[in-house]
Amino acid sequence: REGTGPLPDFRDGTKATFHYRTLRCGDEETPVDDSRARGKPMELIAGKKFKLPVWEAALRTMRPGERARFRCDAKHVVLYPLVSKSLRNIAAGKDPLEGQRHCCSIAQMHEHYSLGYPDLDELQKNPQPLIFDIEVLKVEPPGSYQQDPWAMTDEEKLQAVPQIHKEGNELYRQGKVSEAAAKYYDAIACLKNLQMKEQPGSPDWIELDQKITPLLLNYCQCKLQCEEYYEVLDHCSSILNKYEDNVKAYFKRGKAHAAVWNVAEAQADFAKVLALDPSLRPVVSKELRSLEARLREKDAEDKIRFKGIFSQ
């Protein structure tokens, strides 16, 4: 299909957003990957160290709206299983480098027994020609878009975090809680990716962790409002395992415990809040009164619900 407009100036830093299908060569052309089926198009930034240069070469010659189909010999797509795993991680909202070590790609292919996907394991063991079907959705010049965290360099990640944090705060003030949570998640992902490259417990690792903690607490506040209480319990507990005097983590975990009827645990967390910061007594008292009122309501409902059961 013909694209629209002139051929874009696809210089380094240009971002192409496109859908792709990967097919095995053969009479049946068995699908390997389909971005449309996952509901998330692919984004590629020219000049980045992408492990599948044939895609960038094709995109440099395409216009928005244009579709191309081409075949690549096995020797040109030997790294596709690793690329596919990363793309599947991205579509699932995970770190694209999850499970990869800091070594070259060929070494990774030999060291890893499994990529976590049987079809990719088979393709890794027996490389074969592949067909790519690409449809360009849009092409954006450098500076006109905000990169996803996975596509940033280490320096770009570190520089982006304060701005992403600020955007999350603004969304939260506007009452857009889910959107704010997504921003905090992106900022956390940037820092977690950097932290993975440091020795746990080292000064640099600790410095990054101290930047992650307030973002994670903001994320937990959003999750409280979205009534996703068990996620709050997990994250706050992970914070308190490292920082035993974090008042905000105790308070948010106490609220989450109260919401899921973990009464003793909620009371213990609120007691810890008061021990660490007595000035919060009015706020804690309000939460405890709310918990007690809900307990009375629940008891009354239970009495009505089970009335007469034992007399039958």
Q: With respect to CATH, is domain 146-226 assigned 2.60.40.650? A: no
Can you give the pLDDT at residue 94? 60
**Residues 60, 71 contacting (CB under 8 angstroms):** no
Query: Helices H, strands E: what count in the chain?
Result: 12, 5
Mean pLDDT lowest among 87-91, 107-111, 184-188, 233-237: 107-111
- Biggest alpha carbon distance in the chain? 83
The mean pLDDT value for 260-280 works out to 96
Q: Which residues pair with 15 in a beta bridge?
A: 45, 140
Q: Is the pLDDT assigned to residue 108 strictly greater than 80?
A: no
The residue among 7, 122, 97, 124 whose CA lies nearest residue 58 is 7
Q: 23 - beta bridge partners?
A: 31, 131
Between 49 and 87, the more confident residue is 87
**Average pLDDT value for the chain:** 87
Q: How far is CA 94 from the centre of its chain?
A: 5
**How much is the pLDDT for 122?**
92
Q: Find out whether 257 and 230 touch, Cβ atoms under 8 Å.
A: no
Domain boundaries, the chain: 14-140, 146-226
Residue 278 confidence class, pLDDT cut points 50, 70, 90: very high
pLDDT, tens digit, 9 for 90 and up, residues 120-136:
999 999 999 999 999 99
**Which of the two residues, 101 and 115, has the higher pLDDT score?**
115
Q: Which two tokens stand for residue 91?
A: 């579509």
Single-letter amino acid, residue 109: M
pLDDT tens digits, residue range 9-47?
888 889 899 999 999 998 889 999 999 998 888 888 888
Cα first-last separation, the chain: 75
Kindly state the helix (H) or strand (E) to which residue 18 belongs, with its residue range: strand 15-24
Backbone angles phi, psi at 32, to 5 degrees: -105, -50
CB 263 within 8 A of CB 279: no
- Residue 88: what pLDDT? 85
Q: In angstroms, rounded to a whole number, what is the distance separating the alpha carbons of residues 180 and 186?
A: 10
C-alpha angle 120-125-127 in degrees, rounded to nearest 5: 80
pLDDT at 106: 41
pLDDT of residue 154: 86
**Model pTM score:** 0.63
Q: What is the pLDDT of residues 92-107, one digit of tens each?
A: 666 555 554 444 444 4
Segment among 180-184, 229-233, 301-305 with least mean pLDDT:
301-305
The answer as to CATH 1.10.760.10 being correct for domain 14-140 is no
